[in-house]
Amino acid sequence: MANKQFDNHLGIVGWLGGGRWGVERYLYILHRLTGLGLLLFFLMHIFASSVRMYGPESWGVAMGILKNPVFKLGEFCVFVIFAFHALNGIRLIFIELGLAVGRAEEPIYPYKSSLNNQRPLMVIAMVLVAILIIAGGYNTFFGSH
């Protein structure tokens, strides 16, 4: 039988979802996006903060540009994605080193999986992210500096 099969790989859409997925799937997507965002920010940050080697005048010019409210908002966004990436990263370190997935146990229906084991850790991490975002927002927009 020489029938042509149809390749049914989802492609990059499969990263975002191919069906109705769980919370951990979306945390994985966000972790990737925040990682890329932080990398882009960091590449700019190397050059921006390197200006200090040219002395106070150049530094003053650079800081003048960065006083723009767009950059202030950008800084807050960077802080938010850093908070998420860091705390989800802590959660992933525990999971991927086998510390939060529980031990192998004989499956008895209704099945519990490592997703149940890591859920308290996930909830704590997300609560801390929310707290950090609120604290960061307060500091950025209502803080003294």
Partner 1 sequence: MEKVTDKKFNMTVYIRRFDPERDAAPRQQQYTLEVERGMTVLDGLHVLKQTQDPTLGFRFSCRMGVCGSCGMMINGVPGLSCNTQILDVATTALTLAPLPNFSIIRDLVADLVPMFGVVRGLQPYIQRSDMEEMENPTMEYFQTPHELEEFLQFTYCIKCGSCMAGCPTMATDREYPGPAPLTQAYRYNIDSRDDAGDARRDLVAASHGIFNCHYAGECSKVCPKGVDPARAIQLMKKDLVLNYFGLSKHRCAHLHKKPDKATYKPRIEVPPFTAGK
Partner 2 sequence: MRETAYWTWFIIAGIVILIIAGLHMVVMHLPMFGVFNPESGAVTDWGNVAFRSQNQFLAFTYIILLGAVLFHGFYGLRTIVFELGPKKSFQDCFTVMLWIVGLILFGIGTYAAIAAKALETAI
Applying CB under 8 A, the residues found at the interface with partner 2 are 12, 32, 35-36, 38-39, 42-43, 46-47, 49-50, 52-53, 55-56, 59-60, 63, 66, 79, 82, 86, 89-90, 93, 96-97, 136, 139, 143, 145
The CB-of-128 to partner 1 minimum distance in angstroms stands at 19
Residue 35 binding partner per list partner 2, partner 1, none, with a CB distance cut-off of 5 to 8 Å that depends on partner kind: partner 2
| Single-letter residue type at 102 | G
**Closer to partner 1 by Cβ: residue 32 or 52:** 32
The CB-of-131 to partner 2 minimum distance in angstroms stands at 14
**72-86 burial: b if 16+ Cβ within 10 Å, else e:** eeeebebbbbbbbbb
The CB-of-45 to partner 2 minimum distance in angstroms stands at 9
The CA distance from 123 to 139, in Å, is 24
DSSP annotation of 3 reads: P
Using DSSP's 3-state secondary structure scheme, residue 55 falls into coil
Residue 70 binding partner per list partner 2, partner 1, none, with a CB distance cut-off of 5 to 8 Å that depends on partner kind: none
| Single-letter residue type at 74 | G
| CB-based contact 30:87 (threshold 8 Å) | no
**Closer to partner 2 by Cβ: residue 30 or 38:** 38
Interface contacts to partner 1, rule CB under 8 A = 3-15, 18-22, 24-25, 28-29, 31-32, 92, 95-99, 101-109, 111-115, 117
Residue 74 binding partner per list partner 2, partner 1, none, with a CB distance cut-off of 5 to 8 Å that depends on partner kind: none
The CA distance from 99 to 105, in Å, is 15
Dihedral angle sign, alpha carbons of residues 119, 120, 123, 125: negative
